[in-house]
């Protein structure tokens, strides 16, 4: 071969390689989109990039904790996940738009606290803070952050409502397959596959963040860490919460506490609903003199019994409130339920609210709040054209309102070195470092379990609180789910129900609550990892190693009434999730006598018996009314409280399967922020195999033994 043909061959090989590389990236690589500009990326931290275009309004980052830089650095660096020249932005008089590439097989997760489905591909969401329902994307926490199955995440940092087209809608420049003739062709798609995610706001610009990662979990970790890391709730917050009927008085509360004792039920937090105030909807935030004549004595007497008090409120200020005059100059143009709306983006409004709350509630021992009604339906919240004294936009203020309120209280109590744990009905970007859990009126048990999974993809916590039930079976099934969630609460504000309201299942309810309480060392350690490493304590299966997405396309038959477009539907495993490092929770719904559980790769064991259950397969289990199915990974070490009556509880360390393993058990004072100054203990629990195959367990204090648990005994669950 002469040198010219050698050169030609090399050139050919080079072109071939280019073609292959191009092909690998599918049709998602565009170097030009007409009318759009390429985004300019700036690396802000290892694995985190930012592109800004135009100008933005309110910024959620003003209300969240600073990034945990060391923890992000410890995750290491990763490459930018797509071709920088295939990312675009566009500013038109009405919209700011961004376009990012999407591969053919990519799944997209996240986009807020949805009650429906996990995979967002093939849909359009309008991400709006709302009281849920109707339009896709209207929810309590419409976080504009998504995670790709390919291992990267994208945050659209805007306080405007983000409208996002996830793999639907094609531009003329898109590199997509040719159209199919519906009359003669097969598989005509009602939603032709698209090669991009396009997100837009009615605004003048925004920031886009990209979070890299080797796995979807690492992406979520980076996002959470960038937003200040996860929270570590006070220990009491992980106990049992009971919310009283709205008309209850202090005497009713004392009687209820006695009742709890007589029925042998634990009780860590009492929640008071609107009627603790002398005026509600709008709110006075002042105690009702008739129902709570002596608030100080009331709260202190509960605290002395080891019970915390949580107060319900919405932020709309009643004209009769003692706060009214002070806060009035800092309220918006419109009222909600005829109460004035504080502009909490103004330090003056925050101060007025916190001064009032400090004086009337916090100084006498109230532990925190349930901030209600900050999500709205449009027909009761302020309109989009409302004006506020800060000059901030009403739409943006609504998106951020719940987040700002969380920040306001956290900030206030942190100065007193007190951790709080409370409830909030709306949240937004970066809420992982806020001491609040979201709840809803939606009340679909299935939807609540899906929300538990989805919460982990959006940096928020969620409680599937129980209120009431039609049958004893539904009661125990809902109770079981709530026992395996971030906040175990009976919200009896209108039903007045007690945990023992269905006598047939009372013992089962008690046993489930007790089991949750025994698991406190394990759950608390899971939260420590949330705080330290950004790993959500309750996680969607898509974040789990060895899990293969079960997405199936079913249907596709033309049907005039049900399926006029012969569309294929996506079926996902949305009814199971992970709790802590190694427990898979598979709630059972009323009426189910068996259920399917999707097991990731690796051997899995039954929590209760230690029996082998399967590996990387879908199993069917027969349900037992008294138990929520819990499956445990091979080698799992699960520390449980074995004797609570002791001052320093002793621990039973359970081991499952046959693998060697090391588990680091965390503990601290359970209520202050001293852990941030190194005031915590770590105990290494280690399981090793002897030459004869026998497992032995050891424990060693590795950091500070001030908060160590008592005696540790080992239990080998799988023989
Ligand atoms: C609802 C809230 C309930 C309860 C009630 C009191 O909006 O979701 O949990 O607090 O208000 O009026």
Whether ligand 1 lies within 6 angstroms of the CB of 493 is answered as yes
Q: In what order do the strands lie in the sheet with 138-139?
A: 37-38, 88-91, 96-101, 196-201, 162-166, 123-129, 138-139
CA of 330 to the centre of ligand 1 (A): 26
Q: How many angstroms from the chain centroid is the CA of residue 44?
A: 25
DSSP string, 24-84: HTGGG--S--TT-EEPPPEEEETTEEEEEEE--SS-GGGGSPPP-HHHHHHT-----SS-G
Neighbour-count burial of 526, counting CB atoms closer than 10 A to its CB (0-12 exposed, 13-18 middle, 19+ buried): buried
| pLDDT > 70 fraction of the chain, expressed in percent and rounded | 94
CA of 286 to the centre of ligand 1 (A): 18
Confidence of residue 312 (pLDDT cuts 50, 70, 90): very high
Whether ligand 1 lies within 6 angstroms of the CB of 375 is answered as no
Atom nearest to 491 CA in ligand 1 = 9
Confidence of residue 18 (pLDDT cuts 50, 70, 90): very low
CA of 313 to the centre of ligand 1 (A): 9
Which residue of 130, 133, 242, 273 sits with most ligand 1 atoms within 8 Å of its CB, as the best mutation to test the pocket? 273
Whether ligand 1 lies within 6 angstroms of the CB of 491 is answered as yes
Q: If you take atom 4 of ligand 1, which residue's CA is the nearest one?
A: 493
Atom nearest to 373 CA in ligand 1 = 7
Q: Of the given ranges (176-190, 534-548, 586-600, 691-705), which has the lowest mean pLDDT?
A: 176-190
Which residue of 373, 377, 493, 494 sits with most ligand 1 atoms within 8 Å of its CB, as the best mutation to test the pocket? 493
Atom nearest to 425 CA in ligand 1 = 8
Q: If you take atom 5 of ligand 1, which residue's CA is the nearest one?
A: 493
Q: What does the pLDDT look like over 46-95, one tens digit per residue?
A: 999 999 999 999 999 999 999 999 999 999 999 999 999 999 999 999 99
Q: What is the pTM (predicted TM-score) of this model?
A: 0.94
pLDDT of amino acid 5: 53
Q: What does the pLDDT look like over 642-662, one tens digit per residue?
A: 977 777 899 999 999 999 999
The more confidently predicted of residues 499 and 173 is: 499
* Token pair recorded at residue 285: 């935030």
CA of 285 to the centre of ligand 1 (A): 16
CA of 396 to the centre of ligand 1 (A): 24
Contact (CB, 8 A) for 627 and 482 = no
Whether ligand 1 lies within 6 angstroms of the CB of 441 is answered as yes
Whether ligand 1 lies within 6 angstroms of the CB of 372 is answered as yes
Cα(145)–Cα(125) distance, integer angstroms: 12
pLDDT of amino acid 228: 97
Contact (CB, 8 A) for 240 and 234 = no
Q: With a cut of 50, say whether residue 636 has pLDDT above it.
A: yes
Question: Considering the chain, what is the average pLDDT of its residues?
Answer: 93
Which residue of 441, 442, 490 sits with most ligand 1 atoms within 8 Å of its CB, as the best mutation to test the pocket? 441
For the segment 427-442, the average pLDDT, to the nearest whole number, is 97
156 φ/ψ angles, rounded to the nearest 5 degrees: -95, 105
CA of 493 to the centre of ligand 1 (A): 7
* Token pair recorded at residue 274: 């609107």
Cα(270)–Cα(236) distance, integer angstroms: 11
Whether ligand 1 lies within 6 angstroms of the CB of 313 is answered as no
Q: What does the pLDDT look like over 257-280, one tens digit per residue?
A: 999 999 999 999 999 999 999 999
Q: What does the pLDDT look like over 523-560, one tens digit per residue?
A: 999 999 999 999 999 999 999 999 988 767 666 777 77
Q: With a cut of 60, say whether residue 12 has pLDDT above it.
A: no
CA of 581 to the centre of ligand 1 (A): 33
Whether ligand 1 lies within 6 angstroms of the CB of 312 is answered as yes
pLDDT of amino acid 29: 55
Q: If you take atom 8 of ligand 1, which residue's CA is the nearest one?
A: 441
Q: If you take atom 10 of ligand 1, which residue's CA is the nearest one?
A: 273
Q: What does the pLDDT look like over 703-717, one tens digit per residue?
A: 888 899 999 999 999
Q: What does the pLDDT look like over 21-55, one tens digit per residue?
A: 433 344 445 568 989 999 999 999 999 999 999 99
Helix (H) and strand (E) counts for the chain? Answer: 12, 38
CB hemisphere CA count around 476 (13 angstroms): 21
Atom nearest to 280 CA in ligand 1 = 12
Q: Which of 477-481, 493-497, 708-712 has the highest mean pLDDT?
A: 477-481
């Amino acid at each position: 071969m002469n040198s010219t043909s050698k050169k030609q061959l090399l050139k050919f090989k080079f072109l071939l390689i280019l073609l292959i590389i191009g092909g690998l990236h599918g049709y998602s690589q565009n170097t030009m989109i007409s009318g759009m500009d390429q985004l300019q990326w700036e690396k802000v931290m290892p694995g985190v990039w930012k592109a800004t275009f135009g100008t933005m309004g309110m910024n959620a980052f003003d209300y969240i904790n600073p990034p945990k830089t060391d923890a992000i650095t410890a995750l290491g660096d990763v490459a930018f996940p797509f071709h920088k020249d295939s990312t675009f932005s566009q500013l038109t008089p009405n919209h700011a738009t961004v376009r990012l590439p999407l591969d053919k097989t990519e799944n997209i997760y996240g986009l807020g606290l949805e009650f429906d489905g996990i995979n967002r591909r093939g849909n359009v969401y309008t991400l709006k803070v709302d009281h849920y329902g109707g339009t896709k994307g209207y929810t309590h926490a419409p976080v504009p952050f998504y995670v790709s199955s390919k291992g990267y995440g994208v945050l659209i940092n805007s306080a405007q409502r983000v409208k996002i087209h996830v793999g639907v809608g094609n531009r003329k420049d898109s590199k997509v397959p040719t159209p199919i003739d519906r009359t003669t062709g097969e598989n005509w798609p009602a939603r032709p596959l698209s090669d991009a995610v396009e997100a837009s706001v009615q605004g003048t610009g925004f920031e886009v963040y990209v979070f890299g990662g080797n796995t979807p979990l690492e992406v979520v970790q980076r996002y959470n860490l960038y937003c200040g890391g996860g929270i570590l709730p006070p220990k009491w917050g992980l106990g049992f919460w009971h919310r009283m009927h709205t008309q209850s008085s202090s005497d009713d509360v004392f009687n209820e506490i006695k009742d709890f004792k007589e029925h042998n039920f634990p009780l860590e937090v009492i929640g008071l609903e609107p009627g603790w105030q002398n005026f509600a909807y709008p709110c006075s935030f002042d105690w009702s003199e008739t129902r709570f004549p002596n608030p100080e004595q009331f709260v202190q007497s509960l605290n002395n019994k080891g019970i915390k008090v949580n107060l319900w409120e919405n932020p709309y200020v009643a004209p009769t409130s003692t706060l009214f005059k002070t806060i009035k100059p800092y309220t918006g143009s419109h009222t909600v339920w005829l109460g004035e709306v504080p502009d909490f983006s103004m330090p003056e409004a925050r101060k007025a609210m916190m001064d009032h709350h400090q004086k009337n509630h916090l100084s006498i021992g109230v532990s925190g709040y349930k901030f209600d009604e900050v999500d709205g339906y449009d027909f009761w919240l302020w309109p989009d054209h409302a004006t506020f004294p800060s000059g901030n936009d009403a739409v943006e203020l609504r998106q951020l309102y719940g987040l700002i309120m969380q920040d306001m209280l956290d900030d206030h109590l942190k100065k007193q070195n007190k951790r709080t744990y409370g409830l909030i009905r709306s949240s937004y970007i970066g809420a992982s470092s806020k001491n609040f859990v979201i709840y809803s009126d939606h009340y679909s048990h299935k939807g609540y379990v899906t929300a538990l999974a989805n919460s982990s993809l959006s940096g928020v916590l969620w409680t599937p609180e129980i209120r009431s039930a039609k049958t004893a079976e539904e009661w125990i099934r809902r109770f079981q789910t709530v026992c395996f969630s971030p906040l175990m609460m009976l919200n009896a504000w209108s039903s007045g129900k007690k945990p023992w309201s269905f006598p047939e299942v009372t013992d089962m309810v008690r046993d489930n609550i007790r089991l949750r309480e025994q698991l406190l060392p394990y759950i608390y350690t899971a939260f420590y990892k949330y705080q330290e490493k950004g790993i959500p304590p309750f996680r969607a299966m898509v974040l789990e190693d060895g899990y293969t997405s079960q997405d199936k396309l079913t249907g596709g038959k033309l049907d005039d009434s049900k399926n006029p477009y012969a569309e294929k539907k996506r079926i996902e495993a949305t009814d199971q999730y992970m709790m802590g490092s190694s427990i898979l929770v598979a709630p059972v719904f009323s009426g189910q006598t068996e259920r399917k559980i999707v097991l990731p790769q690796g051997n899995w064991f039954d929590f209760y018996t230690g029996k082998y259950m399967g590996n990387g397969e879908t199993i069917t289990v027969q349900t037992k009314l008294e138990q929520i199915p819990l499956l445990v990974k091979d080698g799992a070490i699960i520390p449980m409280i074995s004797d609570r009556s002791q001052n320093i509880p002793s621990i039973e360390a359970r081991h499952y399967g046959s693998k060697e393993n090391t588990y680091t058990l965390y503990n601290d004072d359970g209520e202050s922020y001293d852990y941030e100054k190194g005031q915590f203990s770590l105990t290494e629990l280690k399981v090793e195999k002897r030459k004869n195959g026998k497992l032995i367990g050891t424990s060693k204090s590795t950091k500070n033994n001030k908060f160590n648990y008592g005696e540790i005994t080992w239990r080998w669950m799988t023989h």
